[in-house]
Amino acid sequence: MTGIPVSDIQGLRPKLLNESLTITRVHYKILGMSWAGWVFDFYDLILFTFLLIPISKEYNFSNLQMSYVLGASLAATAIGGVIFGVLSDRFGRKPVLQWTILTYSIGTFLSGFAGSFWLLMVFRVLTGLGVGGEWGTGQTYIGETFPAKVRGRYCAMMQTGAPLGIALASIVGGLISPHIGWRACFFISLLPAVMVLFIRRHLPESDLWLLRKKATKKDPAKGSYKRNKTVQQFQELLSVENRKYFILGLVLAVFDMSAYWLTYSWMPGYLHAERHFTLTKSAFWILVTQTGGFLGYLIFGFVADRLGRRPAYSMYSVIMALGLVMVTIFWDVIVIYPLIILAFMFMVGFGTGMFGGFGSLFSELFPTSVRSTAMGSAFNLARGIQFFTPVIISIIAVKYGLGGGISLAALFALLTGAWIWTFPETRQKKLYSGD
């Protein structure tokens, strides 16, 4: 019970949302908007991987040039994660969630006007900034408002937006783009911005954040609400109490992100160029992996709430690694069995469900004053490092093919499953306004 204010103990405040005995309509609204923001966040990021081919053909861009654009957008997510994480801890979860959605929607829309390599780069960087901010803000929102005993499953439910976003990108980029053109695909991606109106009108602010803000206004010596707020937030994040878990969390995210982006940054190109799939067939196979991903995320939360965060990560990492090895290194062995290949593609997607654990794990490791800063920074700095991933694969592909580069993801998946054991088990940890 360490860290609970006296006023909390005396019952002088209303019950927090995360202390509710049941899941209410307010909880579902927060989950729904955070989830929808993540769907279109990931859709905007992945859509570009499907439009790489038509864009490069129109402008005669090389694979390396397109890798730089994709890598730059991933690097921008790191900056966006840090910036919007700090803003979320300072101004609240609700307004910053709106800002991130507007940023990535506008960036994707403007990408349709790109007439040169550098303009395309600028607009994809803008998209990346918004993409980087949405995840940490949404996961913090959910982590602070849902009860401890079910936090893992609902944070993981938000993560199901990723495979649905990829599935939507597969449909728009793989099936619709040949008919409407790549520019129109970017233009219609402005539509998610209308979610901001619903968030503004119908969502409450995180009551845990509001209590923390109220407490720091009464006692400015606490928290990060005085001069040099940004500096102070990072000083607190890197303090003795938080530094260890921030570094451990960053390494965990780097391993998992590397596994993910080594897999997906060139997977459509791998199926199209080396396995001679049409764009339509490639899109269908990606949909298979995302069906696995959706179920993987959904089930991960229940596994993590029941068995713990650490066992869940380890189980999923092995599943992903096995699927990856089979669809790359051992492709020629199983190619005569299409259904077997699809099963392993499904396993690759299912294994990525371990991403469903980051929201609950980070919420349970850090205090309210820097929770979003820590979450957004660790997750998105790891994603920003993936600037090098598509470039590395394109270089390896010269000698070993795209499959050879993608197969490296299996190693990083296994590293993720091993590294999680450097953390304490945080299953069902309660969050208090005094944290």
pLDDT reported for residue 281: 77
Look at residue 206 and tell me if it is in a domain: yes
pLDDT reported for residue 373: 86
Look at residue 228 and tell me if it is in a domain: yes
Look at residue 64 and tell me if it is in a domain: yes
Q: For the chain, what is the largest distance between any 2 Cα atoms, rounded to a whole number of angstroms?
A: 70
Residue whose C-alpha is closest to residue 356's, from 19, 35, 26, 24:
35
Look at residue 358 and tell me if it is in a domain: yes
In the chain the first and final C-alpha atoms are separated, in Å, by 10
Tell me the residue range of the domain where 359 lies. Answer: 23-422
pLDDT reported for residue 60: 84
| CATH value at residue 97 | 1.20.1250.20
Per residue of the chain (435 residues), give pLDDT as tens.
344 444 444 455 678 898 898 999 999 999 999 999 999 988 888 888 888 888 888 888 877 788 788 878 878 888 998 899 889 988 999 999 999 999 999 999 999 998 888 999 999 999 999 988 898 899 999 999 999 899 999 999 998 888 888 788 888 887 898 889 889 999 988 888 888 888 988 899 998 999 888 877 665 555 444 446 667 777 788 788 888 999 999 999 999 988 988 887 777 777 877 777 776 777 778 788 888 989 999 999 999 999 999 999 999 999 999 999 998 888 888 878 888 989 999 999 999 999 889 989 999 998 888 888 888 888 888 877 877 776 777 777 667 777 777 888 899 999 999 999 999 999 888 876 555
pLDDT reported for residue 23: 93
pLDDT reported for residue 222: 53
Look at residue 183 and tell me if it is in a domain: yes
Q: At a CB cut-off of 8 Å and minimum separation 6, what does 250 contact?
A: 377, 378, 381, 382
pLDDT reported for residue 5: 46
pLDDT reported for residue 224: 45
Look at residue 224 and tell me if it is in a domain: yes
Which two tokens mark 159?
């993560």
pLDDT reported for residue 218: 62
Query: For residues 147 and 18, what is the distance between their CA atoms, to the nearest angstrom?
Result: 4
Residue 196 CA: distances (Å) to CA of 65, 102, 132:
34, 8, 17
pLDDT reported for residue 435: 59
Query: Under a CB-based contact definition with an 8 Å cutoff, are residues 357 and 152 in contact?
Result: yes
Which two tokens mark 313?
């990560």
Name the domain count of the chain. Answer: 1
Query: Under a CB-based contact definition with an 8 Å cutoff, are residues 189 and 91 in contact?
Result: no
Look at residue 2 and tell me if it is in a domain: no
With 0-12 / 13-18 / 19 or more C-beta atoms within 10 angstroms meaning exposed / middle / buried, residue 266 is: buried
Query: Under a CB-based contact definition with an 8 Å cutoff, are residues 10 and 74 in contact?
Result: no
Query: For residues 433 and 435, what is the distance between their CA atoms, to the nearest angstrom?
Result: 6
Look at residue 13 and tell me if it is in a domain: no
